Amino acid sequence: MIDSNTQKQIVLKFSDCINSRDIDGLAALMTDDHRFIDSANSSLLGKESALKAWRGFFESFPDYRNVFENVSVRDGVITIAGHSVCSDKRLDGPALWTAKVVDGKVPEWRVYDDTPENRAQLGV
């Protein structure tokens, strides 16, 4: 198992790829069975499905980026509190994320609305 500091570094690199719209970097960090779950609890399964979604997302929101303020690891889950920055107000503001890292890759990336309920559930 990878230590928690390495898990954090992989998640930060994954976010850096999102912020720089680096599809190849995301692909290199995703497992083949990668699952992306959005704040509405909709999910995509599989690396290719997720990469297709990221391509469309980057085209639609070219100035989107994540800003992480707190990153913690507990029981193999990386929990992040921060905010996103985007000219589209729907995507601009506080957010929570979780990720999992297995063998140096990300099998799951999840986005949550930053609500008191989600903070309590995630222990933020």
Instruction: Please state, for a pLDDT cut of 90, what percent of the chain lies above it.
Output: 94
Evaluate whether 96 touches 124 at the Cβ level (below 8 Å).
yes
Domain map (residue ranges) of the chain:
4-122
* DSSP at 88: S
Q: Does domain 4-122 have CATH number 3.10.450.50?
A: yes
Q: Identify the band that residue 113 occupies on the pLDDT scale cut at 50, 70 and 90.
A: very high
| DSSP E strand boundaries for the chain | 30-37, 43-45, 65-74, 77-85, 93-102, 105-113
Long-range contacts of 116-119 (CB under 8 A, 24+ apart): 119/81
pLDDT digits (tens, 9 = 90+) for 28-81: 999 999 999 999 999 999 999 999 999 999 999 999 999 999 999 998 899 999
| Residue 86 identity | C
* DSSP at 78: E
SS3 of the chain: helix, strand, coil, percent, to 5: 40, 40, 25
Which 3 state secondary structure label does DSSP give 42?
A: coil
